[in-house]
C-alpha cells in the first residue's frame, strides 16, 4: 500500500493555520485539547480528511508512545509526535465550516472501533526521532 504522509513542516503549517482561526463554530464547544471520543454534537459530515500522518501499514507501525515530560496518552499537553502511536495512525481532518484541523483515528476496542479526535495544536508538535523510524522492531521477536 502506498502512503503519502504529511511531512513535519506541512503539518506545522496546517496546525498554525488552524490555531489562528478565532470564529466560533459548532466544532469547538467541547475541548479537544486531549484525545476524546468523537463528540455526538460534531457531525461526521462536518469534517473532511485533508491529509494523513500514516506512513506504513498498521501492523508495521509502532505502538510506542512519546512522553518525555511525564505526560500520558490522555494528557492535554501530550506531544504530537508523528512517528509515534497514535499519531502514526491519524488522518488530518478539517472542519468544513471554520477550517480548524483535528487529528483522528480509530482505536480498536474489545468489540468495536472507537473514533477518537484531538485538536491539532502547533505548540505540541515535536520532531521526535524513533529508533526504528516508527516501525515495529522486528528483531525483538527473537529476544
Is position 38 an interface residue for Zn ion (rule: CB under 5 A)? no
Is position 95 an interface residue for Zn ion (rule: CB under 5 A)? yes
Query: What CA dihedral angle connects 33, 38, 40 and 43, to 10 degrees?
Result: 100
Is position 81 an interface residue for Zn ion (rule: CB under 5 A)? no
Provide the b/e sequence for 49-84 (b: ≥16 CB within 10 Å): eebbbbbbeeeebbebebeeeebeeeeeebbbbbbb
Candidates 27, 32, 78, 81; binder of Zn ion (CB under 5 A) is: 27
- Closest approach of Cβ 52 to Zn ion, in Å? 20
Candidates 8, 16, 17, 25; binder of Zn ion (CB under 5 A) is: 25
Question: Binding segment for Zn ion among 1-9, 23-31, 70-78, 85-93 (CB under 5 A)?
Answer: 23-31
CA–CA separation, 14 and 20 (whole Å): 10
Contact residues: Zn ion, CB under 5 A: 25, 27, 95, 97-98, 100
Amino acid at each position: 500500500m502506498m502512503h503519502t504522509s504529511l511531512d513535519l513542516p506541512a503539518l506545522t503549517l496546517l496546525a498554525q493555520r488552524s490555531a489562528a482561526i478565532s470564529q466560533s463554530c459548532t466544532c469547538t464547544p467541547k475541548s479537544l485539547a486531549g484525545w476524546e471520543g468523537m463528540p455526538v454534537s460534531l457531525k461526521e459530515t462536518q469534517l473532511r480528511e485533508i491529509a494523513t500522518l500514516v506512513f506504513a501499514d498498521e501492523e508495521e507501525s509502532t505502538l510506542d508512545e512519546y512522553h518525555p515530560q511525564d505526560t500520558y496518552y490522555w494528557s492535554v499537553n501530550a506531544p504530537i509526535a508523528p512517528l509515534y502511536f497514535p499519531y502514526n495512525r491519524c488522518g488530518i481532518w478539517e472542519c468544513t465550516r471554520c477550517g480548524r484541523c483535528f487529528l483522528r483515528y480509530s482505536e480498536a476496542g474489545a468489540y468495536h472501533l472507537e473514533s477518537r479526535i484531538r485538536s491539532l495544536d502547533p505548540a505540541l508538535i515535536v520532531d521526535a526521532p524513533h529508533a526504528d523510524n516508527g516501525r515495529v522492531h522486528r528483531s525483538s521477536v527473537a529476544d
